[in-house]
Amino acid sequence: MVYGVIGTGALGGFYGGRLAKSGQEVHFLLHSDYEYVKENGLQVDSCDGSFHLDKVNAYSSTTDMPKCDVVLVGLKTINNHLLTSLLPPLLRHNTVVVLIQNGIGVEDDVQKMFPDQPLVAGLAFICCSKTEPGRVNQQCYGSINFGNYSCKDEKTFHTVIDDFTHAGIQCAEVEYLEARWRKAVWNVPFNGMTVVLNTQTDLLLKHPSTRELIYTMMMEVITAARHLGVTGLDRSFADKMMEMTDNMTPYSPSMRLDFDRHRPMEINYIYLRPLQIAAEAGCPMPHVDALAKMLSYIGACND
């Protein structure tokens, strides 16, 4: 299959790079480091084995890219309004769009832009950042879950999973709604708390007060998910996420990196939409709501 990557940052660079290394045809849309990657290739520094792509199908505009069977979207959700112009040159009627993005409600909004396009959620569990032009650094983890939102072609959907597996990426199919809320269990407390308290993941868990608060917010997210009919999440998953983060390399999540670089933070889909959906289901999340309000204030001051 022919893959396209829109947003060759940390996630697009890592997953697209692994697919290309495994022999898949992958075409990358780049922005600030287009010229560098075109000339020098793409370097992926990985805890699972580093590699360099000497020849990269690099583009500065999607109008120059070929039609694709699958498009991986690695943009931050704050830039999703750009999809109305970025995506169409790559699409056939059956092109599968995989949204490797954070938050709740993403697919709902993108489907309104492209009513007939098959969409899949890609939920990455990875500590990864783009440290400099043409260089991606994967510190630890790297798995990805796929939730089928509107792809009726089961063969293509499972071929994507097979291609990722062949590329050495741990992946699995997860029921769509569960997949989105499963990712939120980690994203909601750690993204915002590292910004509000100007810290990293390890220090949040070392202090008893913040460790308790992290766990409380995880349970609020899990309770909201269960109110919405998600049965595969319970306290044991929160325990697993805490243990996983205890064993993780000290990490600054994407929202903390955006804040440090004075970029807009993904407050809408990570916080405001889940809070709205949970409230409509009769399940308020008071600690998450307080964190969202602090982030909204900090974000306004950081512009």
- Just list the catalytic residues: 183
Would you tell me how many other CB atoms lie within 10 Å of the CB of residue 81? 12
C-alpha 97: how far from its chain's center? Answer: 14
Q: What is the DSSP string of 231-264?
A: -S--HHHHHHHHHHHHTSPP---HHHHHHHTTPP
Give the containing element (helix H, strand E) for 190: helix 176-196
Burial of residue 115, with CB atoms counted within 10 A of its CB: 0-12 exposed, 13-18 middle, 19 or more buried: exposed
How far is the C-alpha of 225 from the C-alpha of 177, rounded, in Å? 8
Q: Residue 218 corresponds to which tokens in the numbers above?
A: 């995880």
Contact (Cβ atoms closer than 8 angstroms) between residue 91 and residue 113: no
Q: What is the DSSP letter of 82?
A: G
Spatial contact of 210 and 269, defined as CB atoms under 8 Å apart = no
Sort 177 into a burial class: Cβ within 10 Å, 0-12 / 13-18 / 19+. middle
Instruction: Locate 226 and state its tokens.
Output: 């269960």
